[in-house]
Structures are given as C-alpha cells and as structure tokens.
Amino acid sequence: MEEIKYQSVLTCPKCSKTQIEKFSDVDCCHLSFKCRSCGFVMEPKQDGTCALCNYGTVKCPATQKDGNGICKCCKK
C-alpha cells in the first residue's frame, strides 16, 4: 500500500512562487492557502477540485487513496 503524503509544494498562479504546506486528512479539501509572497489565496475551485490538487505537487489525501488522480473530495 502506498504511503499517503501530507506535505505538498504549492505554486502560486499569480507570482509563480512556491511554498511548502502541510495538511491532514481532516478537511484538507476545504483548505485554502495564502501565498506568502503576493497574498493570492489559493482555494478550492467551483468544479470541486481542491486547492491541493489544483496548485500542489501532491494531490489531496482522498485523491491519493482513490488512485485515479481525479479530485472529487469537495463534491458531495
């Protein structure tokens, strides 16, 4: 069984700066991350993909477990 990763490198879409963020299983798909460089807030998109899947090098825990790479953690 593959190990779930709880740390990701997020890339800001505005200024292209990267920052390391840690997260947990709990509510990870609802998290938003503020760029420490320009202040842009990386948050879940309306299509239901979370901030981690959109901006991070590592998918959210739910998507990692699912294994198909499609984020649907925020779709209920």
Kindly list the residues in this chain that would bind Zn ion in the complex (CB under 5 A).
12, 14-15, 35, 37-38, 40, 50, 53, 60, 63, 71, 73
Q: Which is nearer to Zn ion, 3 or 15 (CB)?
A: 15
Query: Beta strands 18-22 and 33-34: pairing type?
Result: unpaired
Closest approach of Cβ 39 to Zn ion, in Å? 7
Shortest separation between residue 1's beta carbon and Zn ion, angstroms:
19
Per-residue b/e over 33-60, b at no fewer than 16 CB within 10 Å? bebeeeeeebebeeeebbbbbbbbebbb
Between 3 and 47, CB nearer to Zn ion: 47
User: Shortest Cβ distance from residue 20 to Zn ion (Å)?
Assistant: 14
Distance in angstroms (rounded) separating the CA atoms of residues 22 and 14: 21
